[in-house]
Amino acid sequence: MKILDQSEDPSPAISYAGLIEKIEILRSMLRWASKLERADIEKVLRQASALRDEVMQLSHKERFVQAVAEPARVELSRGARREALLARSFIFEGTFGDNPQLLESLEIAEKAAPTDLPVLIDGESGTGKELMAKVIHANGSRADKPFISVNCGAIPENLLESELFGHRKGAFTGASGDRKGKFESAHMGTIFLDEIGELPLAGQVKLLRVLEAHEIQRVGSDETIAVDTRIVAATNRNLRRLSEEGKFREDLFYRLSVIHITLPPLRERRDEIPLLLAYFSDEAAGILKRRPVRLTPRLRDFLLCYAYPGNIRELRNVMYRISCLAGDTADIEHLPVDVRPSSASPAAATAASVVPNLMSLGDAKRAASDEAEKVFLERGLQEVGGTVAELARRVDMNRSHLQMLLKKHGLHSKDFRHRNGQPRDKESGSG
C-alpha cells in the first residue's frame, strides 16, 4: 500500500508533519472500511502506527522545519507578519502584538488548525494557552463542533477515568446512571486537556490508548465506543524533563507533541500591554454594564511597565478589579494591595514602581513612542471631527489598522465629533 508516490508529488520531499497527517487519514479510513476483515484492518493499523511512531521519533527541528515555514518564504517585518495573519481572516478572539515568538506560534497554529494533528501548547501560567487552543479549534474544520475543556489537575485521581471516559450505572458507589465522559462529549470536536503534566501515570496509559485506537471504554463496561476527537493539550511544565525523570510517559509526550507551540510570557510581549488594557477594559465594561473606566496617567504608566508575573490572566484580573471598584476614573489606590507601589508619594510611586520594571532602554522608547502615537491620533481625530474614514485617508492608512490603533489607545471617535460646530468634551480614557 503506497502512502506517498513521488511521481504524483512534484515536491522533492513531503514535510514530516504532512506525512503524519497522511498516515492519520489512512488510519481513519481503514477503521471504517467495510470490505476488509477486521483482522486485516488491525494488521494495517498496526503497521501505520509503527510508521507514525518512527516519524515522530525524529528530531523536533527536522519534523517541523517545513511545517512552520514555506520553502522560500520572504522575510517579513513583524508588523507585516501580523497584518498578514489578519488579512488571511485568521480568527483570534482577543488581541495580539508583533512579538516574533508569538507571531511564530500563531503561524504554526494557523497551519495546524485545518489538520487533526495533536497539538501541545506550553508556557507559563496565564499566558493564554486555552485561548490558543480555542484559536486552533475556531480556525479548523471542527469549528462548529464541541470544544470541551478539561483541567487534568483539578480532577481527583479516583474519578479521572470516569470524568474522561464516562461510566455505566452501578460501576461504583454513587454511579446511579449511565454517564458520558468528556471524550464522548467532544466527539467530532476538540478536547482541550489543560495541565496535562498533572495527569497521573495510570491516566496517561488510558489516554495513550485513546490516541492509538480512537476508542474508549466507560468504567464498568466491556463495550468499546469509537470517538473522533481532536486533542489539544497544554502544560506549564517541561514534559520532556518529566519524561526523563519517569514522571510522564515518553511515548505519550511524542504523541501529544506532533505540533508543539510555546507561548512567551507577557514580559516579553510588552507591545501587547496597551492593547490588552483596552481590550479587557471594554470587556469588563460590557459585563459590568458601564462605560469603560478611565486611567490616570500615573496608573496607566504603572500598568504599562508592571512585570505581570501572572501574565495575561493577572492583567485581566487587575482591569476587572479597577473597573469594578473605581468610579469614572481609576488610580493607583484601586490596584490590589500586593501590586501597588510601596511609596505613598504619587511622584515617588511612579518613579519607584515604573522605572525598575522597565526591562530595557527599548521599553522606555516604546512607551514614549506610544504616547506620541496617541497624541497624533487625538489631534487627527479633532481635525476631522471624529470621522475615522477621513483620518485614514489623510494619513494614508488602512482603516482597519487605524481602528486597531484607536482601540489600543482607548480613543473613541464619537468623543471627537462636533456638536453645533464645537468639539465635544473628550472622554478618551484607556477603555
Residue 424's pLDDT band, with cuts at 50, 70 and 90, is very low
In the three-class reduction of DSSP (H, G, I as helix; E, B as strand; rest coil), residue 292 is classed as coil
In this structure, are residues 406 and 375 in contact, taking their beta carbons and an 8 Å threshold?
no
Name 165's Cβ contacts closer than 8 Å, sequence gap at least 6: 181, 183, 184, 206, 210, 216, 217, 218, 219
pLDDT score of 249 more than 90 = yes
Is 86 or 256 the better-scoring residue by pLDDT?
A: 256
pLDDT score of 351 more than 50 = no
What is the per-residue pLDDT for 69? 46
**Helix (DSSP H) and strand (DSSP E) numbers for the chain:** 18, 11
Q: Which three cell numbers stand for residue 311?
A: 501574565
Is 248 or 18 the better-scoring residue by pLDDT?
A: 248
Q: Which three cell numbers stand for residue 301?
A: 504608566
DSSP string covering 318-381, please?
Answer: HHHHHHHH-SSEE-GGGS-TTTS-S-SSHHHHHHHHHHHH--SHHHHHHHHHHHHHHHHHHHHH
Point out the least confidently predicted range of 84-98, 107-121, 220-234, 270-284: 84-98
What is the per-residue pLDDT for 52? 62
Question: How many residues are given for the chain?
Answer: 431
In this structure, are residues 377 and 411 in contact, taking their beta carbons and an 8 Å threshold?
yes
Across the range 383-407, mean pLDDT stands at 81
Distance of CA 265 to the CA centre of its chain: 12
pLDDT score of 84 more than 90 = no
Which phi and psi angles does 230 have, rounded to 5°? -85, 130
Q: Which residues pair with 294 in a beta bridge?
A: 329
Question: Residue type for 369, please?
Answer: S
Is 193 or 421 the better-scoring residue by pLDDT?
A: 193
Point out the least confidently predicted range of 5-9, 172-176, 208-212, 357-361: 5-9
Q: How far apart are CA 406 and CA 260, in angstroms?
A: 34
What is the per-residue pLDDT for 343? 55
Segment 266-320, tens digit of pLDDT = 988 888 888 889 889 999 999 999 899 999 999 999 999 898 999 999 999 999 9
What is the per-residue pLDDT for 341? 82
What is the per-residue pLDDT for 148? 95
Nearest to 140 by CA among 116, 162, 120, 164: 116
Segment 114-163, tens digit of pLDDT = 999 999 999 999 999 999 999 999 988 899 999 999 999 888 888 888 88
pLDDT score of 350 more than 50 = no
Percentage of the chain exceeding pLDDT 90: 34
Across the range 339-361, mean pLDDT stands at 51
pLDDT score of 229 more than 80 = yes
What is the per-residue pLDDT for 414? 82
What is the per-residue pLDDT for 364? 56
What is the per-residue pLDDT for 27? 61
Segment 22-41, tens digit of pLDDT = 666 666 666 555 566 777 77
What is the per-residue pLDDT for 29? 60
pLDDT score of 16 more than 70 = no
pLDDT score of 426 more than 90 = no
Name 222's Cβ contacts closer than 8 Å, sequence gap at least 6: none
Q: How far apart are CA 36 and CA 77, in angstroms?
A: 53
Residue 183's pLDDT band, with cuts at 50, 70 and 90, is very high
pLDDT score of 63 more than 70 = no
What is the per-residue pLDDT for 26? 65
In the three-class reduction of DSSP (H, G, I as helix; E, B as strand; rest coil), residue 261 is classed as strand
Label each residue of 134-173 as H, E or C.
HHHHHCCCCCCCCEEEEEHHHCCHHHHHHHHHCECCCCCC
- Mean pLDDT over each residue of the chain, to the nearest integer: 78
